[in-house]
Structures are given as structure tokens and as C-alpha cells.
Structure 1
């Protein structure tokens, strides 16, 4: 593969990654797309050697080969997990060796810009760390309680209108069907001993009139106001009934979002805010690897071009 390539790590069907790859192709930037969890150890072949300047060697997938020492950027999108295969003990060993071998090399490439580094993404997925970072960069955060104490939860819910939200948006099924656990109102009378079974996140309900998703790419901020039907707490449960319009961040907000990402070592973040009638933005959370393609189309935000710019420029942009 001639020139300094961009590696795109994602699953087989990823329409969002397709948009970025098409734009990089238009710019004649070489791209090697593969899914580490699906394509390794076959058809992907790794030949990596450490030298004074860092890792050298090749990553070959089918008939395409990337020089590891020349990778300009790695776009960590939605790769599959490393498979466990058959045979429980041996499979666990193989999966861990692949993750720490291939994943370790890909995470330690000299002169490579990461969008974003997998370890940075993993660290930023913890909501308590997000809320702490948000307060330190000056964002407005609703009163929040994380507890497994039913009495503390009951007292918190009795003090103000409250919502419950999961600490991690993992896979969940109801009667064998995939289901989402959305943020939802909860009252003190609903709190029972079940709270003691795990950590729970309770948050003061913001009297919002709209929501905002702000997508930050490097130091560029793209924001859209999201209007849901009256009474909807979590707009993700009402995709078919939403309206969108581009919106500009309040003064100083963009800089705070960039500082938030820098705190985690991220080059991308999808922030969610609740907006009140007085125009105040209340920080809810940041998805360090969140979706954005539908928002680009709905609100006319040039996010694909911004991501392609960052990947094309590579690490030199931040040196």
C-alpha cells in the first residue's frame, strides 16, 4: 500500500465508517479497513518488530498490506470483540493473546493519530469519571447520586424530581428480544430493596425544553438541537418523532468540551445536553465513540469531512 495509510478498525457492516472511507478514497488517502476481532488471525497476518524508532513491520489483510511504521492514523470505530472460539481455557488464552498482541501493537504505533485510542475510549466510558471531568472544565451538571443504599436513594428521589439511568448501555434482552434501558423518571415510592443489588445512578431531572448532541472532532464542534414530543425524557426512545436543527454552542462551551476530551486523551466525543427554557446547557454524558452519521444528514453538519481531515492530517496536526 503506497503512502502513509489510515487503519480503520470496525465491524463488517458499518455504514458510518463507510462514509469516512469514501471521503478518504476521494482524497486518495490509502485506507486499510479490517475487523481485528473477526479478521485475526485469518485472513489478517501480523509481522511486527520493535526497533529504536518504534514498531516496524507489516499488517496484511487479504491482498492489502500496511507498513506499521508509516501509519498516519487509526480510526477505532466499532470492532468486534476478540472471539473465544472453542475449548474454554484455550480459547480464553488465545483471545487474550490476540488482544494484547495485535491490539497492543496497534495501540503503540509511533507517529500515529488515534481517533481515539482504545484505552482512552475505555477509560472515558465510566460515567463517574465523566461527571468529575465535566465539573472540572466548568460544565453544569445535575445533582447526582450513585448508590446501592435504598434509603439514600429514597431520600434523594424525595428531594426533587429524579431520573434513573444505567451506568453502562450494555446489551439487554426482554423475552429474548433486544431492548434498550432508557433514562426514566423514578419516585421515592418506587425505591425498594432491589437497589442494594447493584450500583444505581440517580440524577435530578432537568426541566428541559430540548436536547443537544454536540459532536467534537479534534477541536471542531458540531451541535444539533433535538426536539422530542412533550414529556419524552430520553429522546433515544423516540427516534421516529424527533426534529433537528443546527445550533451554536454558548460562549465558552466549545473550549470546555475540547478540554474535557483532552482530559481523557480523546480526539472525538458525542456529548448530550439537556437545554432549559433560559438557554442553559446541562451536561448529561459523553459517548467517546458515539454515533453521528444520522445527525450529519438530519442537521446538515459536515462531520464526515471533519473526521477525514483529522485522519488525513494524522499525528502531525498535534505535534
Structure 2
């Protein structure tokens, strides 16, 4: 008989906690946007994210240097903002300034980060409405919408695995269940297993206060002994030993690959302080399958995570909203930053001409 749910296994022994600052460091928000107008509106690149998005900060600076305004709406700063979205004319007014987005990228905008100092019912309403706005923010078809077919959980982790497998990539054996103790009987082999979130890798208990929801490695014996029916489903996969990971960034036709070497094949989660990071050539056997996935999901900007194993590469996931500055801090130049910003600038100029 299964036991009543307690603390979910994935939440046990999670030690990572972080305070996510809502202070803006965005250059254009702090200093001002380039004076560029068309029919009383400011044509712009629009990004929905949150204040601690350092990649968006970098993009803001690069766009300013190119004379392109950035309209950035941060979820942890949006409550109480004066916003009007003229849906069919494609005009967004914020604080009395009229913008016409020409390129749109949804990144880390999260309703759970919205600080709504109000009674619980009203606070829930505020987060629900802003979250719905972010999901429905679909500019007109003449606007370049980065990764148009993706959303907060789209493509889902399961859809990613299925598509990668169909494209010829190896993927870990996987089960989704509210009964983790049954997973060892469903996943072939005798090795350890890994429990993973179906959603984000961070969750906010309160706005700005995040806890990690990182993969947890467990033995089959430990998992088999757990007879709990958990309160939410979780992803359970075979543990695949690896000497390192590949983070392959994609920018509209260009791959930029990095290798992250682990000290031990038994570590299931990378700690940046304990790995060496280097830029490496794109493995030719991955070009075709990953390009196919980008075309299938209509991805212009994304990052793929794969394990490097003695038996070949194993696909883990793709991230349509991704970080790259932490990788570039370990190599010469800004190869991903340049590719991303060049794409945004060129897309803006082409659609504005």
C-alpha cells in the first residue's frame, strides 16, 4: 500500500537558496533609450524577463550602441506599471511612452516573482493576470518573435526527449510518475536513477526568494523502499555516467559549443567552481539532429545540454531562454553574445526597413 505524501523526494536535501534582486541594472532603463521614432511610436526590441537577467542587461547595452531602443518588462518590477497594449495595432504604451515592438523575445518573465503587496486574493489576481498577459503577448505576424512556438514549458521536457529520440539522438530512459518507488521496475538496468523537475529548476517560495529544484541522484534500492504517492508528478530517468557536458548554443544558424569537464563521472549536477570550461568545435555528428530540432521548434536562439559519455552524446534538454555569460567568462571573446546580439540587431533592421 502506498503511503500519504510528505515532503517530495526532489525537495529533500535541496540546499541551494538564492535571493533574486529586483533592482534594475538595465542600461537603457537607467540612462535612456536611443531617440528613434516612427509615426509617434518608438520601434524597439521587446524582452519580457526579470531584473536579474544579466544577459538582457548586456543586450540592452549592445542595442543602445546600435541605436536600437529596448523595451524591457521585468516580472519582478511590473506590478503597478502603467501599461496599455493596443493588440491589433501592435503598440505597447508603458509609462506614457509608445512603443512598436519589431522583435520580441520572452525569457524569464515569471508570475511567481511578482511582488504584489496586497491581500492574498488580490495578490493572486495580480500574478494570474500578469502571467496570462505574458503568455498571450503574441505580436502581429510582421514582428520577429524569437522562438515563436515556445512558451514557459513549451516544448515540454517530455516533448523534447521524444523529438530528440526521433531525430536519432540517444536520450535517458524516462518515467513520469507520482509514485517514484515504482520507477526502478519500469526503467531497464541496475544503475542509479535521477529525479528531475518537470518544470523550472528554481521555485520561489516568496517573490525573490528561490530554492533549487536540481536533479537528485538516488539508488534503485532507496527509491524502491519509498512507497509514497507524491502530491505532484516528477520525472525519473536512468543515471548516465559522463565525463563532462556539452552546452551548445544556437543563434539562428550558428552553433557555439562549450565543454564542461567534471572531476568525477559520479557527479550528476555541475558545480561551476569545480569544472573546467572551454570552447570546443561543434561535433559534426550533432549538427544535423540539432538543426532539425531547431527547425521543428522554430528556434532562433537556444541552448542544448548533452552528456559526453564513452558511448556517445546523450541529449538532456533544450533551453529557449538561456544564460551564456557565465560560459564566456572562462574563454576569450564573447562568441555567444556577439551571435545573439547580431541576430537581434539584424532582425530589427530587416523588419524595420
Q: Distance in 2 between matches of 1:272 and 1:157?
A: 22
Say whether the 8 Å CA contact 2:244–2:259 is kept in structure 1: yes
Q: Distance in 2 between matches of 1:232 and 1:59?
A: 52
- SS of match in other structure, 2:36: coil
Q: What's the RMSD between the two structures over aligned residues?
A: 3.0
**Which residue in the other structure is 1:286 paired with?**
318
Q: Is residue 68 of structure 2 the alignment partner of residue 34 of structure 1? A: no
Q: Distance in 2 between matches of 1:6 and 1:89?
A: 34
User: Offset at 1:134?
Assistant: 0.9
Alpha-carbon displacement from aligned partner over 1:235-287 (angstroms, at most 9, x marks no partner):
43x21111011122322422322322333333222211111235x21111222
1:233 to 262, 267, 284: 267
Q: Distance in 1 between matches of 2:130 and 2:235?
A: 35
Q: Distance in 2 between matches of 1:8 and 1:88?
A: 29
Query: CA 1:273 to 1:299, structure 2 compared with 1: closer, same or farther past 3 Å?
Result: farther
Alpha-carbon displacement from aligned partner over 1:48-94 (angstroms, at most 9, x marks no partner):
153xxxx24342346x531x2xx221232323425555234444444
1:220 to 254, 261, 264: 254
Q: How many residues align?
A: 301
Q: Is residue 50 of structure 2 the alignment partner of residue 5 of structure 1? A: no
Query: CA 1:158 to 1:13, structure 2 compared with 1: closer, same or farther past 3 Å?
Result: closer
Structure 1's consecutive aligned runs of 4 or more residues displaced over 6 angstroms after TM superposition are: none
Q: Distance in 1 between matches of 2:134 and 2:318?
A: 28
- SS of match in other structure, 1:72: strand
TM-score computed with the length of structure 1 as normaliser: 0.81
Query: CA 1:12 to 1:151, structure 2 compared with 1: closer, same or farther past 3 Å?
Result: closer
User: Offset at 1:194?
Assistant: 4.3
TM-score computed with the length of structure 2 as normaliser: 0.74
Query: CA 1:98 to 1:190, structure 2 compared with 1: closer, same or farther past 3 Å?
Result: closer
**Which residue in the other structure is 1:48 paired with?**
86
Alpha-carbon displacement from aligned partner over 1:147-201 (angstroms, at most 9, x marks no partner):
344564232567231321322323278xxx9543433432221023345324332
Higher helix share: 1
**Which residue in the other structure is 2:218 paired with?**
186
Say whether the 8 Å CA contact 1:157–1:188 is kept in structure 2: no
Q: Distance in 2 between matches of 1:17 and 1:283?
A: 27
Structure 1 residues without counterparts, runs of 5 or longer: none
Q: Distance in 1 between matches of 2:142 and 2:76?
A: 24
Say whether the 8 Å CA contact 1:235–1:242 is kept in structure 2: no
2:185 to 149, 155, 167: 155
**Which residue in the other structure is 1:21 paired with?**
60
Structure 2 residues without counterparts, runs of 5 or longer: 1-34, 38-42
